[in-house]
């Protein structure tokens, strides 16, 4: 399995901002801030173990997307609330299965680490805040070209079954290799612009059109197994799983 090279602190910071923004966006689109109030900077710093600059930049990205609106002054800390509506982008393109025996697929793991689920993620996974989970993030490759970045958060105890299992292509293959059975999968998605961090990973220009997907996978009993954020290039198939039909 390819091992990612050490990354500079500036690159790591950018990816931390991206992950926090993605989890907050998923919480908003999933209705997990029912009072419409986004947690304050201090609460997010403690809950996510993030620096103040990471929190502020993540909230700034959401504000730029029109997902939240904030109030601030020179002397007061900014506060944010969910915008009057979350923009609903066009439906993702019709997708069809890719046959991995015909079209070469691969992956490159970017991160595989344990963490205590902060409250917004815990609500998504239907576990208590602080519950252990495993984050696995990887690039999906199609003929060696990045086609998607996927960030998965897996609940305990299934997370333990994935430790040490090498990636052999798609996420579904990894679950199969670990002997984890899947039930239904719920998805929400649409077109979103590539932020600078995602653009760097996928080799596209910032602002390029991507397909954004938030995906919840359940086990056969209906318990949440995995919550995932996917960012898929619209011009390159998502290797090993789905691609634009045509």
Q: Is residue 53 part of a domain?
A: yes
Q: What is the number of domains present in the chain?
A: 2
- Model pLDDT, residue 79: 75
- Model pLDDT, residue 156: 94
Question: pLDDT > 90: what percent of the chain?
Answer: 46
The model's pLDDT over 52-91, given as tens digits with 9 standing for 90+, comes to 999 999 998 888 888 888 776 554 566 777 776 554 444 4
Q: Is residue 221 part of a domain?
A: yes
- Whether 100 and 190 map to the same domain: the answer is yes
- Model pLDDT, residue 74: 52
The model's pLDDT over 198-227, given as tens digits with 9 standing for 90+, comes to 999 999 999 898 988 999 999 999 999 999
Q: Is the pLDDT of residue 240 over 90?
A: no
- Whether 57 and 152 map to the same domain: the answer is no
Among 38-47, 78-87, 123-132, top mean pLDDT goes to 123-132
Mean pLDDT of the chain, nearest integer: 81
Q: Which domain holds residue 155?
A: 95-244
Among 51, 82, 113, the domain-final residue is 82
The model's pLDDT over 140-191, given as tens digits with 9 standing for 90+, comes to 998 888 999 999 999 999 999 998 899 887 899 999 999 999 999 998 888 8
- Residue 48 sits in a domain of what CATH number? 1.10.10.10
DSSP the chain: ---PPP--HHHHHHHHHHHHHHHHHHHHHTT--TTSBPPPHHHHHHHHT--HHHHHHHHHHHHHHTSEEEE--SSS--EEEE-SS---PPPPPPEEE--TTTS-EEEEEEEEEEEEPPHHHHHHHTS-TT-EEEEEEEEEEETTEEEEEEEEEEETTHHHHHTTPPP-SSHHHHHHHTT-----EEEEEEEEEPPHHHHHHHT--TT-EEEEEEEEEE-TTS-EEEEEEEEEESSS-BTTTEEE--
């Amino acid at each position: 399995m390819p091992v990612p090279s050490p990354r500079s602190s500036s690159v790591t910071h950018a990816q931390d901002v991206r992950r926090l923004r993605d989890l907050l966006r998923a919480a908003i689109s999933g209705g997990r801030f029912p009072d419409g109030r986004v947690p304050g900077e201090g609460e997010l710093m403690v809950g996510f173990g993030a620096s103040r600059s990471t929190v502020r930049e993540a909230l700034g990205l959401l504000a730029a997307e029109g997902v939240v609106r904030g109030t601030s002054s020179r002397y007061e800390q900014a506060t944010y609330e969910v915008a009057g509506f979350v923009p609903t982008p066009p439906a993702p393109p019709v997708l069809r299965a890719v046959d991995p025996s015909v079209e070469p697929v691969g992956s490159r793991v970017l991160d595989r680490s344990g963490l205590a689920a902060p409250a917004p993620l815990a609500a998504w996974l239907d576990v208590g805040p602080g519950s252990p989970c495993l984050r696995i993030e990887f690039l999906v490759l199609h003929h060696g070209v990045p086609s998607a970045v996927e960030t998965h958060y897996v609940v305990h105890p299934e997370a333990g079954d994935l430790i040490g299992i090498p990636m052999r292509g798609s996420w579904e293959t990894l679950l199969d290799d670990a002997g984890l059975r899947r039930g239904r999968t719920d998805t929400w998605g649409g077109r979103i612009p590539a932020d600078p961090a995602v653009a760097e990973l996928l080799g596209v220009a910032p602002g390029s059109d991507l397909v954004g997907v938030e995906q919840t996978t359940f086990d056969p009993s209906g318990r949440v197994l995995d919550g995932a954020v996917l960012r898929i290039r619209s011009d390159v198939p998502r290797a090993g799983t789905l691609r634009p039909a045509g």
